[in-house]
Amino acid sequence: MKYPKLIEFGKNLRIARVVKGYSMEKLAMIANLNPTHIGKIERAEMAPTLLTILALLEALDVDFNTLISYKGKEKK
């Protein structure tokens, strides 16, 4: 079962990544994570640890609220 907040976090992560112009691979390189790991978080297949969240926040240069309640739009 996927939890709604986990789904929302994953969607917001993807939006923030795309707005920044990063591929999963580029974000993974900057955050020192595996691109597969990022994909699983974006699809809500995996809950990120606190250390992973902190690495993503730093790599995207956003605050925690951005990934919890992001209301921006994706670049096309």
Please give the distance of CA 7 from its chain centroid, rounded to a whole number: 11
3-state class (DSSP) for residue 7: helix
Domain extent at residue 25: 4-67
Rounded Cα distance between 30 and 65, Å, is 20
Q: What's this model's pTM, rounded to 2 decimal places?
A: 0.86
**CATH number assigned to the domain comprising residue 39:** 1.10.260.40
pLDDT band of 71, cuts 50, 70, 90: low
Model pLDDT, residue 63:
92
Instruction: Identify whether 75 is part of a domain.
Output: no
Instruction: Identify whether 74 is part of a domain.
Output: no
Structure confidence by residue, pLDDT tens digits, 47-66: 999 999 999 999 999 999 88
Instruction: Identify whether 9 is part of a domain.
Output: yes
